[in-house]
């Protein structure tokens, strides 16, 4: 038996899954950091791999961009494949002036504008929150690796492009540190289905200052984040 969007057999996916948006990122990490790698999913080219990292079995699965896509993979991973820990590894735009490109953020909670998330709660407001145990361990691992992290709340949006004036002012004022497109629904679904979730995010741009990182810089800081995630797995 497999699920609709993942063709893995039961047992082919590890208890802990790292979840980048980009399936080629999943391939890159599998090729460069894991041993004994098996590619368990090619449906829609949304690649998923299982391999070993320092003696531990770990999977890495592309989620696609946005909460609509991510929700499908998170649901199927937890429901069909009994995944226990889902750790997003992605990028975000910072919305505090003092946050630099390349910094690693640990998301404590995610506000957002996702229609899917609101639908679960009849339009009321659920505080989608990371798993504390994973968060604490990620924080300690980063410290041990000498990687500076910023802990705080983020915002997950359905719209990358918009023309809303001063859209992020109110969120900046309320201490939101970054904007991305997947974590809110990840936290909600994981909690509903009894799994643990966390989001590690590298800052690829700063929406307030307009800075954006070159591809090469992005690669280096992304690797810092991956190290934390792999140690956590």
Q: How far is the CB of 135 from ligand HPA (least distance, A)?
A: 20
Place of tokens 């391999």: 51
Of the two residues 217 and 231, which places its CB atom closer to ligand HPA in the complex? 217
**63 touches ligand HPA by CB under 6 A:** no
What gap in Å lies between CA 48 and CA 181, rounded to an integer?
A: 20
Q: Is 205 a catalytic residue?
A: yes
Q: How far is the CB of 99 from ligand HPA (least distance, A)?
A: 12
* Rg of the chain (C-alpha set): 17
CA atoms within 13 A on the CB side of 155: 24
**179 touches ligand HPA by CB under 6 A:** yes
Q: Which of the residues 31, 133, 158, 205 is marked catalytic? A: 205
Residue from 14, 74, 107, 181 binding ligand HPA (CB under 6 A): 181
Among 104, 112, 149, 147, residue whose Cα is nearest residue 129: 112
Question: Is residue 73 within 8 Å of 64, Cβ to Cβ?
Answer: yes
Alpha helices, DSSP H, located in 34-107: 67-79
Contacting ligand HPA within 68-97 (CB under 6 A): 91-93
What is the contact surface with ligand HPA in residues (CB under 6 A)? Answer: 91-93, 157, 160, 179-181, 204-205, 207
Catalytically active residues are 205
């Amino acid at each position: 038996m497999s699920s609709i969007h993942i063709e893995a057999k039961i047992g082919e996916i590890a208890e802990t899954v790292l979840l980048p948006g980009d399936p080629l990122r999943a391939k890159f990490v599998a090729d460069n950091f894991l041993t004994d790698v098996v590619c368990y999913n090619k449906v829609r080219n949304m690649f998923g791999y299982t391999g070993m990292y320092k003696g531990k079995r770990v999977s890495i699965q592309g989620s696609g961009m946005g909460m609509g896509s991510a929700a499908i993979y998170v649901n199927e991973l937890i429901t069909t494949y009994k995944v226990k820990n889902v750790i997003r590894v992605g990028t975000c735009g910072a919305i505090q002036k003092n946050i630099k490109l390349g910094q690693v953020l640990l998301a404590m909670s995610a506000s957002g504008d996702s229609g899917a998330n609101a639908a679960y709660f009849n339009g009321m407001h659920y505080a989608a929150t990371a798993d504390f145990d994973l968060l604490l361990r990620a924080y300690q691992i980063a410290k041990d690796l000498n990687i500076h992290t910023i802990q705080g709340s983020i915002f997950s949006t359905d719209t990358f492009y918009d023309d809303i004036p001063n859209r992020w002012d109110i969120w900046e004022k309320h201490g939101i540190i970054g904007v991305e497109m997947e974590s809110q629904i990840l936290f909600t679904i994981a909690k509903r289905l009894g799994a643990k979730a966390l989001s590690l995010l590298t800052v690829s741009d700063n929406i307030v200052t307009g800075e954006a990182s070159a591809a090469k810089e992005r690669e280096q800081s992304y690797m810092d984040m991956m190290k934390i995630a792999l140690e956590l797995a």
